[in-house]
Amino acid sequence: MTRRLWIADRAADGRAYLTGDNALHLARVLRARKGQQFDIVAEGVLHVGTVLSISDDQVEFELGPAVEESSLPEVNAVISIYKFDRFEWAIEKLTELGVSRLLPVISRRTEPHLARAAEKRVERWRKIAHEAAQQSRRIAPPEIAPPTALAQALLQTTGSRIVLSELEEKVSLKAALAGCPAPLTLALGPEGGWTTEEAEGFRKAGWKAASLGSTILRAETAAIAAVAVVMAEISS
């Protein structure tokens, strides 16, 4: 059976520590015991950790040898903010799929009250990503940047760049990926899609436009489908 992976809250002198909700989950739900082993990431390195002590507030591990772990291709996502329940579900799933960095953006079709509230949600989004990273056995969660205007985000990206757009009818995502090595950034639109002006802004900034097909997908479905396609294509 694959051991559960945890990301340490702190580490020092050959020891790693889980605190807060993770410690409580180990102690109360998993009923971990002294001497039990788990995979634990300490300062970006995966180890086999042996439980030395456990309480509802803190679990202390002795770190064993480092364990080699396969690396993921660098895929980043510029993602327009939409209804928080769906947006947060997308964050969880994109983390599981292996996205390296998420840049939440305020687009023309982002509802004003969501744009105003987004800044206060960032820590929640990072917690969701942290938990999803542990569940999916990632060494680290994706970086989640503070929300920014779309125009600013376009200036913060480098490497291969593809925007998913309902306005694109000829070029499929798979075709757009040809000759696009990692690092790769995908732009994932809001409910209702990018506006014509935004699509033109992507074009002027040098982004390739691509389509996921003729069906109309919800924003979170399109985001997950696009990242799954990219991971399959550039990892093969």
Shared-domain flag, residues 143 and 57: no
Locate 198 and state its tokens. Answer: 């935004």
State the average pLDDT over residues 128-143.
94
pLDDT category at 91 given cuts 50, 70, 90 is: very high
Domain, as residue range, for 160 = 75-235
Confidence check: pLDDT of 144 > 50:
yes
In 3D, which of 148, 164, 163, 167 has the Cα closest to residue 204?
Answer: 163
Locate 26 and state its tokens. Answer: 């180990």
Shared-domain flag, residues 86 and 147: yes
Question: The CATH number of the domain where 218 resides is what?
Answer: 3.40.1280.10
pTM above 0.75, yes or no: yes
Shared-domain flag, residues 133 and 208: yes
Locate 32 and state its tokens. Answer: 């971990």
Shared-domain flag, residues 170 and 225: yes
Locate 218 and state its tokens. Answer: 């919800």
pLDDT category at 2 given cuts 50, 70, 90 is: low
Shared-domain flag, residues 118 and 202: yes
Locate 157 and state its tokens. Answer: 């990206």
Cβ atoms 40, 14 nearer than 8 A: no
Q: What is the pLDDT of residue 156?
A: 85
Between 213 and 126, the more confident residue is 126
pLDDT in tens, 191-232: 999 999 999 999 999 999 999 988 889 999 999 999 999 999
Among 42, 66, 90, the domain-final residue is 66
State the average pLDDT over residues 79-96.
97
Question: The CATH number of the domain where 58 resides is what?
Answer: 2.40.240.20
Taking residue 230's Cβ as centre, other Cβ atoms within 10 Å add up to: 26
State the average pLDDT over residues 16-21.
93
pLDDT category at 1 given cuts 50, 70, 90 is: very low
Pairing of strands 37-42, 5-7: parallel
Q: What is the pLDDT of residue 15?
A: 95
